[in-house]
Amino acid sequence: MQLLDGKKVSEDIKNEIAAEVAKMKAKGEKVPHLAAIIVGNDGASLTYVGSKVKACERVGFESTLIKMPSTTSETELLKKIKELNEDSNIDGFIVQLPLPPQIDTQEVIMAIHPSKDVDGFHPENFGKMALDMSTFIPATPFGILELLERYNVQTQGKHTVVIGRSHIVGRPMSILMGRKGFPGNSTVTVTHTHTKNITQITSQADIIISALGVPNYLKAEMIKDDAVIIDVGITRVADDTTEKGYKIVGDVDFENVSKKASYITPVPGGVGPMTIAMLLKNTLIARANKK
Ligand code: GUN
């Protein structure tokens, strides 16, 4: 079994980006600037956004974190988005999801100017992605592609099973794994809450990408020998033995599944750090597109 070490690969990518930024600085060019909006006080979301901002510092980007209260109205958030769209100093920005229930997520995503949509969530960018056009690829699927590529995991002609159909991971991932090219060229099955006999499907998979959010869901009995396992799950589970009072648990029963798999991502240290690295990459692209 080979571990797909997202922590290490994401460090490599951040070093590559930092080197690009150093070159920009040496030439007297403006460095990329990422902004993030977070609405409310969800602990996990605050942690993720904090990590994104910290990663900006690490590679030499400028960053701006905008915290808005949980009572923020949709109008107020749309006003802030308009400001960021019009601010030439900001190259790209994200609105951390999920949003409080009084705010329509689709309206918010559609308000982000596509040229600054480094999450790749705007329908224009999502459509371009689906049509193999050059665009921002959502950071988590982009990170998974990058991991597969850097470990030279073969995908052509393979059967990829994606568990989950979220707009952030499952849906784009299923499109990307089926597209022409590498990684890609695989035959994709998407499973979701209404899928029957899921074990019958997962046990035929050469590659399983699980983005479900149910701790330890995927068991060894559900996979075939030498399957490639990508675990996108990051659920917080109460644990008194840790300092924070919780631990992060993936969708995959790692202990048993890893004995059968050919490649597997750990949680933490697999897909999570890759997401952040690829958001930085998209921001670098957004900066370069402006020139
Ligand atoms: N919430 C969970 N993942 C993401 C992401 O990649 N981007 C944003 N904006 N929100 C998220």
- The domain locations on the chain are 28-113, 139-272
Set 91, 117, 119, 251: catalytic member: 119
Judged against a pLDDT cut of 90, whether residue 284 lies above it is answered with yes
Per-residue tokens: 92: 């790209």
Q: Are 223 and 259 in contact (CB under 8 A)?
A: no
User: 96 catalytic, yes or no?
Assistant: yes
Q: What is the number of the ligand 1 atom nearest to the C-alpha of 275? A: 6
Kindly give the distance from the C-alpha atom of residue 243 to the centroid of ligand 1, in angstroms, as a whole number. Answer: 25
Q: Give the pLDDT band (50/70/90) at residue 147.
A: very high
Judged against a pLDDT cut of 80, whether residue 291 lies above it is answered with no
Q: What is the number of the ligand 1 atom nearest to the C-alpha of 139? A: 6
Q: Are 172 and 126 in contact (CB under 8 A)?
A: yes
Is 234 annotated to bind ligand?
Answer: yes
Q: Helix crossing, 43-59 with 271-289: angle to 10°?
A: 60
Q: Whose CA is nearest to atom 9 of ligand 1?
A: 96
Write down the mean pLDDT value for the chain: 98
Q: Are strands 187-191 and 159-163 parallel, antiparallel or unpaired?
A: parallel
Is 210 annotated to bind ligand?
Answer: no
The pLDDT tens digits of the residues spanning 190-244 come to 999 999 999 999 999 999 999 999 999 999 999 999 999 999 999 999 999 999 9
Position 78 scores a pLDDT of 99
CATH homologous superfamily of domain 139-272?
NAD(P)-binding Rossmann-like Domain (3.40.50.720)
Is 88 annotated to bind ligand?
Answer: no
Q: What is the number of the ligand 1 atom nearest to the C-alpha of 97? A: 10
Q: Are 73 and 104 in contact (CB under 8 A)?
A: no
Residue 96: how many other CB atoms lie within 10 Å = 19
**Closest alpha carbon to 251 in 228, 229, 280:** 229
Query: Across residues 110-120, what is the average pLDDT?
Result: 98
Judged against a pLDDT cut of 80, whether residue 125 lies above it is answered with yes
For residues 210 and 261, give the distance between their C-alpha atoms in angstroms, rounded to a whole number.
14
* 28-113 and 139-272 share one fold: yes
Position 25 scores a pLDDT of 98
- How would you write the chain as a 3-class SS string? CEECCHHHHHHHHHHHHHHHHHHHHHCCCCCCEEEEEEECCCHHHHHHHHHHHHHHHHHCCEEEEEEECCCCCHHHHHHHHHHHHHCCCCCEEEECCCCCCCCCHHHHHHHCCHHHECCCCCHHHHHHHHCCCCCCCCHHHHHHHHHHHHCCCCCCCCEEEEECCCCCCHHHHHHHHHCCCCCCCCEEEEECCCCCCHHHHHCCCCEEEECCCCCCCECHHHCCCCCEEEECCCEEEECCCCCCCEEEECCECHHHHHHHCCEECCCCCCHHHHHHHHHHHHHHHHHHHCC
CATH class of the 28-113 domain in this structure: alpha beta
Q: Helix crossing, 139-150 with 6-26: angle to 10°?
A: 100
Question: Ligand 1 pocket by C-beta < 6 Å: which residues?
Answer: 94-97, 119, 139-140, 168, 275
